[in-house]
Structures are given as structure tokens and as C-alpha cells.
Structure 1
Amino acid sequence: MMNRRTFSKVLVAGAAASLAATRGFAATAKPVQARNVVLVHGLFADGSCWLDVLARLQGHGLNTTSVQNPLTTLEESVESAKRVLDRQDGPTVLVGHSFGGMLVSEAGVHPNVSALVYIAARAPDAGEDFPALANTFPKPPASAGILFDGQEGRLGEEAFLRDFAGDLPAEKAKLLYAVQQPFQKKLLAGRTTQAAWRFKPSFFAVSTDDRTINPELQRFLAKRMGAKTIELEASHLSIVSRPDEVANLVLEAAGYSHRTDPATAG
């Protein structure tokens, strides 16, 4: 019988074997210029978590929309993103944070999507058991802070402040905790049927101080997809603590050469 260690080695080896078919495309393909950006949040959040990034993108003239992910089932969450993508006029960069990367991988095959951006995000292959893959890496501390009321889950305040938003001022972190949207347990059982990163230019921002998704797992995912990758010294919420760098990565995915200047950004 295969023990857990052997299973983990086989799983990672199998996932790494797909590199030959995918690695290099995303890094070498030049994204077309896009004027639209769609942002997708993950667990323990709502659409307001993107406000700092959104403001910077709008400042560059990009039509930017933050999806309100229902966090009910994977299918319903993907549909919420697809409805927003249907409304976009022309090439669109699809950006996902955390669990939102699941939606990027699935909904990213939409014809309006020109490039994909993953911010400290899950990036599953089609049909992949992502929790099994994640379990081959050390378990992040935030996992122990998830609380359930029946089928509804959320992150407890202590874990939220320490493990999810650890590099934010306490006052800011508490505001984000207050607008946290609970998720349904069945959401976690969903598997993607598409891997848009196999076909479209992809970008990845790794959070090096992440206590919610293991940074080594993030690096593995970015390398597997051949993504243009940056590393940010940040908690899981780099979209709040490092909005300039996140916005600049999105601008690059949108085909823009100009960047947000941290010294002048509002």
C-alpha cells in the first residue's frame, strides 16, 4: 500500500511532468493591450479587498470591475465571474487572489480574457485535486483558524489578524475582518475543468511571508505554468499591503509599459 510520503512524491512528480507541455508559453507570449480588468477575491474577503489596487488601475484609465464572489459553490462562483466577463468590451485581464485563482483557471478560457494574473493564489490544473497537492507542502498556520457554523466557514479574528493580514496596521486589518464574507463548505470540494494558464499569458505574484498559502506552493504553481513571476515581501494580503507592485503586474499583463509610482500613488 502506498503511504502518504510516497503518494506525495508521486503527486508532485506527476504535476511537474506537465511542465514540458506548458512551461515557457506564458513567459514568452506577449499580452495584447487590454483596457479592461476583472478582479476576483478569494476566501475570508469580499470585493472591497481590491479597492487599493482598483484605484491605481482606474488612475491609468483601465475599466476595472471587482467581482462579488458568492463563495457558495465553485460552479456558482465561476458563473459570477463569467457574467462580469460577458459585459467587457474587448481584451480583459482576469486577476485572482487566493481562492480566486480557482476562478481564474476555470473562467479564464472566456474569449474576452487576454491574460491571467494570480496574486498569492491557487492555480489548479484541469481536474486536479488541489487540496491533495497543497498537502504535499507544509500546512500554513491560517488553516488552524478556520471556524465553521454548520456548513458556513470563516476565519477567526486572531488568525485573520496574524496569519491572513499580518503586515497590515491593526486598524486596517480589523476593517477587512469586519467585511469578511463567509464561505460554504461545499465550495472547497469543487474541482476546475479548465486550466486557462495552459493557453494564455500568465503572471504570478508570490507573497514571501504568506501564512495562508505556503510560499513554496506558490512558487511551484508559478513555475509550473511558466508565469512571469515577482516576489513580494508581504502577507497573504499583498493586494492591500503592496498595491503598487500588484497594480504594476496587472498593468504589465494588460500590455502597458508605464507603471504606478509608489512615491506619488494616492
Structure 2
Amino acid sequence: MTMNRRSFSAALIAGAAATLVSTRGMAVTQAPTKVRNVVLVHGLFADGSSWSEVIPRLQAAGLNTTSVQNPLTTLPDAVASAQRVLARQDGPTVLVGHSFSGMIVTEAGVHPNVSALVYVAARAPDAGEDYTELAKKFSAPPASAGIVFDGDEGRLSEAAFLRDFAGDLPEAKAKVLYAVQEPFHKELLTGKTTQAAWRSKPSFYAISTEDRTINPDLERFMAKRMGATTIEVKASHLSLISHPDEIAQLILKAAGQVS
């Protein structure tokens, strides 16, 4: 059968579009690899202990679990810290990030040991994207007004931490978390990712519908853009502490342990 120039061009465009859809939809269509390793990364206003409710649930399922102590100094420092832990894993690994550490997951997630990505109320920029400018397209979350600086170091005030970061936790528990809050360096917020691992790895996203630290609609936008397998949890920004069962189940799904 003979194809004229116009038909040939249309076929080329259609083929290119199909390839693009296939690539962007990988997070949806590619089944997760069954793995036994999980690496967790914390965000701002926290430390590695913020995963303390999720870790025993993953360990009970037989997963080798490591929580990275993110230095919160610069983005390259934070990525390098995660990469060192990823390099120690003995096989395919699910990389999980909460809040700011979605930046780290997006960059470090291209590591060959990483089989899937999980974002928990987390940033999920594209390669080279200015996350601050992206966030400005949505209403500013209340927690933003509660950041205070001591020279180069930033942290959340106690009032903002209890109300806008850990709003669905018992006050006594939230105060303990406030006491171990790790300050971040201003330079950390200037970093941009150079890669977007979610474009090539199966991705999962837990949206916190009551989030006052990242706008839930921004979370929905990022989850939809990456084609992530998505759940919505009626939780504050700290869903990993207030709803650990749901977060652990999503990680187990990314690890191929549950359907």
C-alpha cells in the first residue's frame, strides 16, 4: 500500500505521541519489582526518627529498612547522603521521601539500586524546575509563615509546628517531635534537581488532604503529573506518624509485597 507524504507525517507524529505517553505512564503501567530493601528519607523540621511508626511495620513484613539522617545543609549534600545508603543495599530498593526530601528522591532515585519511588506529602519537581515558582501557582500553606531563622539556620516556631506541621497528633507527641526538630540551612532551599527519577521509575504518592505545610492541591498536581499510583489520607503533613498503616501499605505496594 502506498502512503503519501501527509499520511506518513501523521503516522510519525502519532508514533512519537504514543512513545511519549508510554514513557510518561511508566509509573502507572509498570508493575513494581518485588524487593526486600527500603530506604526512607526525612524532610525539613524533622530527623530520621520521624519514620519511627512506619519502620516496625515494614520490618514486620520482612523488609530491610534504613532511615537516612539527612544533613539538611545543601541539596548535593543531602543527595550524597542518600546515595551512600543506597549503595549499601544488596539489591533492588524502594526509595521513600517525606516533604522536602521528595527533592532527594527525585534526584537520587536514578541510582541503579532504586526500583520504585514513594512520595509522602512530598515535593516532586521536574528536572531543573524551580520548585518555589511551581508552589507559587497554589495558595501558600499556613506553615510557611511560621518559619523562623537564626542566622543561616531555619526552623518552625513551636506554635506553627504544633498547628501546621503536626496538627493531627496529640499535643504531647507533637511536642516531642518539636524537641528533636533538625534546623535546615538556607542554602538547602536554593538547590534544583538535575534529574527526575519519576520519569523512568514506578512512582507512588500519598497525599495529605489536611496538609498545612504543602498545599494538598499542589500534591495532587505533582502526583498526577508523574502518573503516580496515588492514595489520599485525611492527615496533616505528618501522615507517616498519624497514619502509619496507610503509608506502610503504600510502601509495601511499591515493594511488590502487596497488590
**TM-score when scaled to structure 2?**
0.91
1:108-139 superposed Cα distances (whole Å, 9 cap, x missing partner): 00000000000000001000001000011000
Structure 2 CA distance for aligned equivalents of residues 249 and 22 of structure 1: 22
| One-letter identity of the residue aligned with 2:224 | K
The residue number in structure 2 matching 1:194 is 195
When Rg is computed on C-alpha atoms for both structures, the one with the higher figure is 2
Q: Check 1:145–1:34 CA distance in 2 against 1; reply closer, same or farther (3 A cut).
A: same
2:43 match: 42
How many corresponding residue pairs? 240
SS of corresponding position for 1:248: helix
State how 1:63-82 maps to structure 2 within 5 Å: 63-82=64-83
Structure 1 residues 121-200: aligned runs within 5 Å: 121-200=122-201
Aligned to 1:49, the other structure's residue is in SS state helix
Stretches of structure 2 lacking an aligned partner (at least 5 in a row):
1-19
Distance in structure 1 (CA, Å) of the matches to 2:32 and 2:55: 20
**Structure 2 CA distance, aligned partners of 1:248 and 1:100?**
20
**Coordinate RMSD, CA, aligned:** 1.1
3-state DSSP of counterpart to 1:124: coil
| Unpaired segments ≥5 residues, structure 1 | 1-18, 259-266
The 3-state SS of whatever aligns with 2:53 is helix
SS of the residue 1:99 aligns to: helix
Q: What letter corresponds to residue 150 of structure 2 in structure 1?
A: D
Q: d(CA) in 2 for partners of 1:218 and 1:76?
A: 25
Distance in 2 between residues matched to 1:238 and 1:20, nearest whole Å: 31
1:203 lines up with 2:204 in the alignment: yes
User: What do the CA deviations read for 1:74-109 (whole angstroms, capped 9, x no partner)?
Assistant: 000000000000000000000000001000000000
Q: Which amino acid aligns with 1:191?
A: K
Pairwise mapping of residues 23-102 of structure 1 onto structure 2 (< 5 A)?
Answer: 23-102=24-103
Aligned partners of 2:72 and 2:49: how far apart in 1?
15
SS at match of 2:207: strand
Shift of 1:24: 2.0
Q: Is the 8 A contact 1:74 1:190 kept in 2?
A: yes
> Structure 1 residue 20: deviation in Å?
4.9
Report deviation, 1:257.
1.8
How far 1:241 moved relative to its partner? 0.1
- Aligned position for 2:216: 215
In 2, distance between residues paired with 1:125 and 1:34?
26
Distance between the aligned counterparts of 1:234 and 1:25, measured in 2? 28
| Poorly superposed stretches of 4+, deviation over 4 Å | 19-22
Q: Distance in 1 between matches of 2:191 and 2:23?
A: 23
CA distance in 2 between partners of 1:256 and 1:68 (Å): 26
In the TM superposition, what is the alpha-carbon distance from 1:22 to its structure 2 partner?
4.9
Return the alpha-carbon distance in structure 2 between the equivalents of residues 239 and 54 of structure 1.
10
- Counterpart AA for 1:121: A
> Percent same amino acid at aligned positions?
73
Alpha carbons of structure 1 residues 192 and 234: separation in structure 2 relative to 1, 3 Å: same
Q: Distance in 2 between matches of 1:121 and 1:210?
A: 11
Taking structure 1 as reference, are residues 195 and 31 closer, same or farther at Cα in structure 2, changes over 3 Å only? same
1:207 corresponds to which letter in structure 2?
S
- CA–CA distance in structure 1, aligned partners of residues 258 and 185 of structure 2: 40
